[in-house]
Structure 1
Amino acid sequence: MSLRLRAPIVLPCDAECSVLRDAVVDIGADGRILHCGPAADAPAFDGPVRELTGVLLPGLINTHAHSPMTVLRGMGDNLPLIRWLTEVIWPAEGKLTGEDVYAGMVLGSVEMLRAGVTTSAEMYFFGEDVARAVIDTGARGVIASAVLDGLGMDWRRMLADIDAWIDADGLRFGPGERVELSYGPHSAYTLPPEALTKVAEAARQRDALIQIHVAESLPEDQAQRAEHGSVPALLAKSAFFGGRVLTAHSVHLSDADIALYATHQVGVAHCPGSNTKLASGIARLTDLRKARVPVGLGTDGPASNDDLDLWEDMRLAAQLARVSTMDSTALGAADALLLATRGGADALHRDDIGVLEAGRWADVVHMGVDDPAFAAGLDVPDSHLIANLVWAAGSRTVTDVWVAGEQVVADREPTRVDRAEAQAMAGKVTTRLLA
Structure 2
Amino acid sequence: MSAAAVTRLAAPLVLPCDPECSVLRDGVLDIDADGRIAWCGPRASAPPAPAAVCELPGMLLPGLVNAHCHTPMTVLRGMGGDLPLLRWLREVMWPAEGRMTGPDVRAGMLLGCVELLRAGVTTSVEMYFYTDALVEAVLAAGSRAILTPGIIAVPGWDRLGSWRDMMNDVSARIDAHGLRHGPGQRIELGYGPHSAYTLPAEALPEVAEAARERGALLHLHLAETLEEDAGQRAEYGSVTRMLDRLGVLGARVLAAHGVHLDADDIGLLARHRVAVAHCPGSNAKLAAGVAPVPALRAARVPLALGTDGPASSDDLDLWSTARLAGRFARLSSGDAAALTAAELLLLATRDGAAAIGRDDIGALEPGRWADVAHLRTDDPAFLHLGEGADGALISNLVWAGGGRLVSDVWVAGDQVLSNGEPTRVDRAQVQADARAVATRLRPA
TM-score by shorter chain over 0.5: yes
* Aligned counterpart for 1:88 among listed residues 92, 108, 113: 92
Once residues 266 and 363 of structure 2 are traced to their aligned partners in structure 1, the CA distance between those partners, rounded to angstroms, is: 26
Q: Does residue 1:11 correspond to 2:15, yes or no?
A: yes
Deviation at 1:376, TM superposition (A): 5.1
Once residues 313 and 46 of structure 1 are traced to their aligned partners in structure 2, the CA distance between those partners, rounded to angstroms, is: 38
Q: How does 1:260-279 map to 2 (within 5 A)?
A: 260-279=268-287
Deviation at 1:4, TM superposition (A): 0.7
What residue is the counterpart of 2:412 in the other structure?
404
What residue is the counterpart of 1:72 in the other structure?
76
* Aligned counterpart for 1:350 among listed residues 358, 363, 371: 358
Q: Does residue 1:384 correspond to 2:384, yes or no?
A: no
1:160-195 Cα offsets, whole Å, 9 max, x none, are 111111111211111000000010000000111210
Aligned AA (1:8): P
Aligned AA (2:412): A
Indicate the SS of the match to 1:372: coil
What residue is the counterpart of 1:318 in the other structure?
326
* Aligned counterpart for 1:294 among listed residues 277, 288, 302: 302
What residue is the counterpart of 2:316 in the other structure?
308
Deviation at 1:377, TM superposition (A): 4.3
* Aligned counterpart for 2:222 among listed residues 214, 217, 226: 214
1:304-351 Cα offsets, whole Å, 9 max, x none, are 000000000010000000001111001111111000001211111111
Provide TM-score, normalisation by structure 1: 0.98
What residue is the counterpart of 2:61 in the other structure?
57
Deviation at 1:285, TM superposition (A): 0.8
- Note closer, same or farther for the CA distance 1:103–1:378 as it changes in structure 2 (3 Å cut): farther
Once residues 343 and 79 of structure 1 are traced to their aligned partners in structure 2, the CA distance between those partners, rounded to angstroms, is: 33
* Aligned counterpart for 1:331 among listed residues 324, 334, 339: 339
- Note closer, same or farther for the CA distance 1:264–1:47 as it changes in structure 2 (3 Å cut): farther
Aligned AA (2:316): L
Once residues 116 and 262 of structure 2 are traced to their aligned partners in structure 1, the CA distance between those partners, rounded to angstroms, is: 33
Once residues 73 and 187 of structure 1 are traced to their aligned partners in structure 2, the CA distance between those partners, rounded to angstroms, is: 22
- In structure 2, runs of 5+ residues without a counterpart are none
Q: Does residue 1:228 correspond to 2:236, yes or no?
A: yes
What residue is the counterpart of 1:202 in the other structure?
210
Give the CA RMSD over aligned residues: 1.0
Aligned AA (1:164): A
- Work out whether residues 247 and 266 of structure 1, in 8 Å CA contact, stay in contact via their aligned partners in 2: yes
Deviation at 1:291, TM superposition (A): 1.2
Aligned AA (2:221): H
What residue is the counterpart of 2:144 in the other structure?
140
Once residues 353 and 26 of structure 1 are traced to their aligned partners in structure 2, the CA distance between those partners, rounded to angstroms, is: 15
1:122-169 Cα offsets, whole Å, 9 max, x none, are 000101111110011000000011001131421111111111111112
What residue is the counterpart of 1:181 in the other structure?
189
What residue is the counterpart of 2:163 in the other structure?
155
Aligned AA (1:116): G
Aligned AA (2:75): V
- In structure 1, runs of 5+ residues without a counterpart are none
Q: Percent identity?
A: 61
Indicate the SS of the match to 1:216: coil
Indicate the SS of the match to 1:56: strand
What residue is the counterpart of 2:47 in the other structure?
43
Deviation at 1:45, TM superposition (A): 3.4
Indicate the SS of the match to 1:189: helix
Indicate the SS of the match to 2:197: coil
Once residues 215 and 346 of structure 1 are traced to their aligned partners in structure 2, the CA distance between those partners, rounded to angstroms, is: 22
Moved over 4 A (4+): 375-380
Indicate the SS of the match to 1:108: helix
Once residues 292 and 376 of structure 1 are traced to their aligned partners in structure 2, the CA distance between those partners, rounded to angstroms, is: 32
- Work out whether residues 267 and 346 of structure 1, in 8 Å CA contact, stay in contact via their aligned partners in 2: no
1:355-380 Cα offsets, whole Å, 9 max, x none, are 11000000000110121112454456
Once residues 32 and 184 of structure 1 are traced to their aligned partners in structure 2, the CA distance between those partners, rounded to angstroms, is: 29
- Work out whether residues 267 and 349 of structure 1, in 8 Å CA contact, stay in contact via their aligned partners in 2: no
Q: Does residue 1:22 correspond to 2:26, yes or no?
A: yes
